[in-house]
Homo-oligomer: A and B are copies of this chain.
Amino acid sequence: MIKKNDHIGIAVKDLDAQVVFYRDILGLEFHGYEELPDRGLKVGIFIVNDIRIELLQSISSDSAIGQFIEKKGEGIHHIAFYSDSVQAELDRLKAAGVKLIDETPKPGAEGMKIAFLHPKSTFRVLLELCQK
């Protein structure tokens, strides 16, 4: 079951410049940087009340974020929902006919387990499920 909106992921080219914008101009609470070498990402994390905003910069030529920016330019990349059991949700959604990118959860930022649904099944919106 989906419990809440966990975060919004934004694909960015220049993470440091965007951190300045979100922190110093918009005035959002900056939670820090995190590197995810396995996914070729450096992440800048903001907390807005109960939701995180993750600015995602590619640090590897073959990362999904790098490919996204090459095709579509920088901008909003995905919406992530929190679930107490991502695997159970994946199984449930698959049984309901939803196409999945990840059949099992993989590691995400902040030690989360994450999985993406396939945009073909979600009207081109990239949706992620995640859990602690």
Contact = CB atoms under 8 A, between A and B. Distances in A.
A74 to B, nearest CB: 5
Copies of this chain present in the complex amount to 2
User: Is chain A's interface secondary structure helix, strand, loop, or mixed overall?
Assistant: mixed
Contact of A123 (B21, B50, B81): B21
Interface in A22-68: 25-28, 48-51, 53
A81 B22 CA distance: 12
A27 to B, nearest CB: 6
Contacts of A107: none
Contact of A5 (B2, B13, B51, B122): B51
Given A25-B98, A76-B79, A98-B25, A50 B4 contact: yes
Interface of A: 1-5, 8, 10, 12-14, 17-18, 21, 25-28, 48-51, 53, 73-76, 79, 81, 93, 96, 98, 122-125, 127
